[in-house]
Structures are given as C-alpha cells and as structure tokens.
Amino acid sequence: MTIPLSAPDITDAEIAAVAEVLRTGRLSLGPQLEAFESAIARYTNASHAVAVSSGTAALHLAIRALNLKEGDEVILPSFTFIAVANALAYERISPVFVDIDPVTLNLDPSKVEGAITPKTRAIIAVHTFGVPADLDALKSIAQRHSLFLIEDACEALGAEYAGERVGGLADVGVFAFYPNKQITTAEGGVLVTQSPELAALVRSLRNHGRRDSADWLQHSEIGYNYRLSELHAALGLAQMQRVDAILEGREEIARGYDERLAKSEALILPPLKLSGHRISWFVYVIRLVEKYPQSDRDGLIEKMAARGIACGRYFAPIHLQPPYRSPNRVPLPFTEHIGARTLALPFFNRITDAQLDEVCETLLSLL
C-alpha cells in the first residue's frame, strides 16, 4: 500500500460549506470570516481572533503589531519550522536560538535567561508537535525582563496548559491551518489576543492598512494583503464543528503507534501524556537511540519511501540551515543531537489500523 505522511480530512459537510459560499457571491471579508474568527476566539478563550492567509502571516503581523524593529533580538528555539525565524527576518530582527528540553522538545527555560541581552524584546514559545511549552517559567522570565511573550501554537490547536487551551495565554498567539494540521482551511492562520488595540491593528495590517472607519482607498498604515477568503473561512468553520472528535481520534492514533512500537529498544517514543497538560497531536515523531548516526535515520526514510511509506525528518534545526548558519553560532547540543535522529511517521485523521500495522511492521523490520 501507499501511505502518505499526512492527508487532509475533508467531508461532505466541508464541501457543501465551501460550495454555498460560491453561490453567495461574497468571497472576501464576509460573514464566514467573522464566524470562523468567533469560533476560534471562543475555543481558545481569547477576546479577539484575526484570521489571515497563513500561520507565517500571523507570526509576521504579531511581530509588527508588537512594534518589534530592526536591531531587536528575539529568543526562540531552533528545533521548529523555519517560518518563525523567517517572520523575524522580514523585519530585520535578529533571532537568538536557544536549546530545547530533551523530553518535551520545547524551549528550555533554564537556557533562556542566559541568552537575554539589552537588545532582547521578546520570547517566542513554540508548542512543538502540539506539546505545550513551559509557559509559567517563560512568563516569569518575560515579566522579570519586560519582554513580550508570543505563543507559536501553529501545531497545537486544542493543546492545554494547566487546564487552559494554549494560544491565548501570552501577549499574542498564532495558529496555522495548513492541510497537515489538526484542522485545515487549505491555507490560513489566525492570531489571537486579549488586547482590543492589538487586534484592531492586526485587522488593519492584514488588509493593506485600512481601518474599519476608512473608505476602501484610505489607508492608515503600511499593510499587507494577508486576508483569508470566505471560502477558506467556511472550510475552517465546518472543521471546527468537529474539532473535539478530530483531536480525540488523533490521540487514539498516537496510542496505536505507542502500542505497536513500545517494545523496540531502538526507538525513543514521544510521551503520551504530560502531567497537568494535554497534548494536541500534530505529528507522531520518534527518535532513534544514541547508537544510530544521522545517516541511519536518513537511510530509513529512503527505505520506507521505497516501500510506499512517507516519513519526514522533523525538524532540521534552523541554525544549521544556510540562511541562518553562522560561523559564530552558539552550539545547541540537544537540538543538534535530537534533530539528527527524529523521524515523523505517517499521521492523519483517517489513517487505518491496517496502515498503522504496515508502517510499524516495515519500520521494525528495517531496524
């Protein structure tokens, strides 16, 4: 069989919702967008949600809205998707990469304080793979040093930290809805915040700097075309109506992998639970144990692909990639060690037991 790494979960309800928008003739900045934003705000317990064209756009607008500028520094993990660093680069802000915790694979708070300089303006806490970052510790550091805290929850819709859903627990939070995410709008993202002023500014920035009170050709600031269409919003709204069932199903898939792979001495499996928190399963990422070099991980990916099973190397550390590689870079031992051994297995809502069997039996036989 052929098994993809990810696949969107689209039902007749989503198709009907999108088709209905096409019949209305209202394709942008309409009622579907407002309803989707309201649904996300309610779900994340945020006062405001502003939907945009991608998670990257949401990150960029968060940075702009917080007035971070050229010459500022922002602390973030290197073990994450490159978009978070790119959003800083758009504004000529210097990323300061800090090492990760070897269990959660999130930013290690014990390493953050030592990276703060007089130029530091913010910390970006990425909820990697849907695992909540240590927000209490990061909030405490941010408050002591008068820094902004941004939640990159692009992989973590529905994750909970101390009983509260992530995204709305810092100065600003962002989500993404690419087809491999828990829910999808095909392309799209959203920024959430408790601040009405910040939300109003982001709404203006996403729409060429227009304010609500201005006419279509009047612009209050330099902005962008980061709008989310009514079609995308309708798709997302339909998906949100079954988000709880989607998240529960993904938890069940993670348990299925754990049961099939638990006896392997060659693998480190992700934790199924974290005390006091809830994981929102974005991907299922295993790690090869110490004895395996990176070449073995890369070879496994190739051999799995030859058998029709797509796998991925989540994540290639950002600080080792050409746009961000520096001869003076600070070593990040856990990031570099783990980044060379991670292997993302096929993970999507409608994966079957037969497919899980095929993936795990093939992987174990190759090991």
For helices 243-261 and 353-366, the axis angle rounded to 10 degrees is 30
Using left for φ > 0, alpha for ψ between -120 and 50, and beta otherwise, residue 180 falls in alpha
Annotated catalytic residues are 181
Spatial strand order of the sheet with 73-77 comes to: 48-52, 189-193, 172-176, 148-152, 120-126, 73-77, 94-98
Rounded to 5 degrees, what are φ and ψ at 94? Answer: -85, 120
* Parallel/antiparallel/unpaired status of strands 73-77 and 120-126: parallel
Reference 99, options 119, 115, 81; nearest CA is 115
Q: CA distances (Å), 357 to each of 1, 4, 102, in order?
A: 11, 14, 28
Q: How wide is the angle at C-alpha 19 spanned by C-alphas 18 and 22, nearest 5°? A: 95
3-state secondary structure at position 40: helix
Cα 171 off chain centre by: 17
Q: Which token pair is 139? A: 């909030």
CA distance 313 to 318: 13
Looking up tokens 């190739």 gives 302
CB 80 within 8 A of CB 320: no
CB 192 within 8 A of CB 173: yes
Looking up tokens 């203006």 gives 204
Q: Which helix (H) or strand (E) holds 18?
A: helix 12-24
Q: What is the DSSP letter of 114?
A: G
Looking at this protein, which amino acid is placed at residue 365? S
